[in-house]
Chains A and B, each alone.
Chain A
Amino acid sequence: MSTGLVVDQVTLRHGDGEDETVALDRVSLHVPRGEIVAVVGPSGAGKSSLLAVAGGLTVPDEGRVVIDGVDLAGSERERARIRRERIGYVFQSNNLIPALTALDQIRLPLTFARIEDPRDPRELLAEVGMEHRADRRPHQLSGGERQRIGIARALVTRPGMLLVDEPTAALDRRREVLGLLARETHRYGMGTVVVTHDHDVLGHCDRVLEMVDGGLTEQQPALA
């Protein structure tokens, strides 16, 4: 059984008939545990579609997606269970729940169902350098702080895969966030996929793949 993420010959189409577009065209990808992979490419290239398929948010028309040996071809109920137990999603910065404090944002995934051996939310808050902001709500935090909370929230269930959607922020903050993601990936042995339209992520990732018109190609070896 292969650990990590396996995307095998996946095709995803949108629309019908003449309006049909191919978002992913026979894409294959393997991200083993402990590796951080960046998928770069222009807007509309299919990066978000790849993230949606890899995270079980949508089912591909062809091919299959497997996380730690578990196929994501089941029902939505089954895929929801896999998402909460095995996958951590880091969305764009504006994705926190407005009414919750920073600490409660991190506790939130633990309220969905019983999670085996979760991480301590307060320790996680300290790990992302936000322990002094525990009682703040999203509108009281900066963009970078919100992103750190989003990362901590994705890590609280000890997921096997971390899927990161477009960490768009100022250049210095982006480097800081990517550095944090790389550290967490290597320390806890997760597989991490970061999709971004920005090529400036190379220095923090083990591999960089380029997506163009629904196809995925290895771009170049990542910088150390």
Chain B
Amino acid sequence: MDDGVSGLQKLPVTSLAFEDGVATDAAFSRSVVDLDAVDSWAGRDGVTDAAPFGSTLVNATSDGGTEVDLALFGVEPGSFLDPLPAQGARLGSDPRGVLVSATALDAGFRLGDTITLDRIGTELTVVGVLDGQHTYGHVDVGYVPLSTWQEIRVGAGPGAQVPPRAHDEITAVAVRADAATDLAAGDEAAGTTSLTLEESFGASPGYTAETATLSMIQVFLYAISALVVGAFFTVLVIQRKPEIAVLRAMGASTRYVLRDSLLQSLVLLVVSTAVGVGVGVAAGAALSATPMPFALDAVAIGVAALLLVLLGMVGSAVAVLRVTKVDPLTALGGNR
């Protein structure tokens, strides 16, 4: 999922103020906000920083012949959005300079390369490389100075006339504010619609549908895991029936037999989940080394492992209840 929004996750903002009334699921592509809104937001109580932010998807070709899709983020050099590169120079050192995601290097870009935008022919020079993955809508992010971004957005290539309003328009106002800041009041004053950073992920192309699909897959996998574990322990209980009959014939209480069976289930579940997590992490680490977008998150792995054990225990509890029905009489030879 990070592949769709990692570029947004790394923005040092708490919210983004888009055009008033714009559809949330297309805010980044459709929103046009007047630059005046930045001043309106900057003057609000609780707002630490407010800066113009632009976003556009473009197709480009490097001078090495590599074709690539880029999400161009336009920010003002020196503003709080201006990123610090891991290699190369900062934004603004060259008006046509671009800072690209480290993952763009995998696509064949190198520091100093020239990227030519399709259709309009604008040439950008890779002046810096950001640390780690910065992607948006599954394409690499490139940061350019705001004025350059504004010209690209209106399709003004080299030597072309730039429309008079082009430099007054941005996609959104990037806001960094205290948690208690009244965003609704800020929107009212600036004529914008704010989305928190997390809410803005839903405006990333395909993010909501991908999240819903993956969540559904997860829910089904958890449900299936409980069923599989339940089926496994049903077979185990059936196999253990003679043994359980002996325990009950010797006077073991129902509670003892249940506790014994559930404890056995817990041990099996914890050990098998630990093995599964180990294999999964190893396979994931191998995938991470390839260009395939894949991220391992310790919290997500921990929660998934805990859920597997908990749901497995639910499944096994249903199966293990069968032990209460085992007749101790079957322990005697004539009945076995």
Interface residues of chain A, those whose CB is within 8 Å of chain B, are: 43, 47-48, 51-52, 55, 57-58, 77, 80-85, 87, 89, 91-92, 95, 97-98, 108-109, 111-113, 153, 165-166
13 contacts between A and B (CB under 8 A): A48-B335, A51-B332, A52-B329, A57-B331, A77-B253, A77-B254, A80-B248, A83-B251, A84-B251, A91-B246, A112-B251, A112-B252, A113-B253
Report, nearest first, the 6 A-B pairs whose CB atoms are least far apart. Answer: A84-B251, A83-B251, A48-B334, A92-B333, A112-B252, A57-B329
Given known contacts A97-B243, A98-B243, A112-B256, A85 and B251 CB-to-CB distance under 8 angstroms: yes
Query: Judging by beta carbons under 8 Å apart, are A95 and B331 in contact?
Result: yes
How many Å lie between the Cα of A84 and that of B247 in the bound state? 10
Find chain B residues with CB under 8 A from A89 CB. Answer: 249-250, 331
Name the contact of B249 in the complex, choosing from A55, A82, A111 (C-beta under 8 A).
Answer: A55
Find chain A residues with CB under 8 A from B334 CB. Answer: 43, 47-48
Name the contact of B333 in the complex, choosing from A58, A83, A85, A166 (C-beta under 8 A).
Answer: A166
Query: Judging by beta carbons under 8 Å apart, are A80 and B332 in contact?
Result: no
Query: Judging by beta carbons under 8 Å apart, are B331 and A91 in contact?
Result: yes
How many Å lie between the Cα of A103 and that of B335 in the bound state? 27
How many Å lie between the Cα of A48 and that of B332 in the bound state? 7
Query: Judging by beta carbons under 8 Å apart, are B253 and A165 in contact?
Result: no
How many Å lie between the Cα of A84 and that of B333 in the bound state? 19
Measured between C-beta atoms, what is the minimum distance from B256 to chain A in Å?
6
- Which of A58, A80, A153, A166 counts the most B-chain CB atoms under 10 A from its CB? A80
Dominant SS among interface residues on chain B: helix
Given known contacts A80-B253, A112-B253, A112-B256, A165 and B328 CB-to-CB distance under 8 angstroms: no
- Which of B250, B252, B254, B335 counts the most A-chain CB atoms under 10 A from its CB? B250
Find chain B residues with CB under 8 A from A84 CB. Answer: 250-252
How many Å lie between the Cα of A113 and that of B251 in the bound state? 9
Measured between C-beta atoms, what is the minimum distance from B111 to chain A in Å?
63
Measured between C-beta atoms, what is the minimum distance from B243 to chain A in Å?
6
Query: Judging by beta carbons under 8 Å apart, are A57 and B246 in contact?
Result: no
Query: A83-B250, A91-B249 provided; 14 other pairs, C-beta below 8 A?
Result: A47-B334, A48-B335, A55-B249, A58-B329, A80-B252, A83-B249, A83-B251, A84-B250, A91-B246, A95-B242, A109-B250, A112-B252, A113-B253, A153-B250
Query: Judging by beta carbons under 8 Å apart, are B243 and A57 in contact?
Result: no
Tell me the chain B residues, 277-336 only, with Cβ under 8 Å from chain A. 328-329, 331-336
Find chain A residues with CB under 8 A from B335 CB. Answer: 48
How many Å lie between the Cα of A82 and that of B328 in the bound state? 14
Closest to A44 in B: B334
Find chain B residues with CB under 8 A from A77 CB. Answer: 253-254
Query: Judging by beta carbons under 8 Å apart, are A52 and B251 in contact?
Result: no
Given known contacts A48-B335, A95-B246, A112-B256, A87 and B251 CB-to-CB distance under 8 angstroms: yes
Tell me the chain B residues, 232-282 only, with Cβ under 8 Å from chain A. 242-243, 246-254, 256
Given known contacts A97-B243, A97-B246, A91 and B251 CB-to-CB distance under 8 angstroms: no
- Which of B248, B331, B333, B336 counts the most A-chain CB atoms under 10 A from its CB? B333
Find chain A residues with CB under 8 A from B242 CB. Answer: 95
How many Å lie between the Cα of A97 and that of B334 in the bound state? 19
Closest to B335 in A: A48
Query: Judging by beta carbons under 8 Å apart, are B328 and A57 in contact?
Result: yes
How many Å lie between the Cα of A155 and that of B94 in the bound state? 92
How many Å lie between the Cα of A113 and that of B253 in the bound state? 9
Measured between C-beta atoms, what is the minimum distance from A151 to chain B in Å?
13
How many Å lie between the Cα of A108 and that of B247 in the bound state? 9
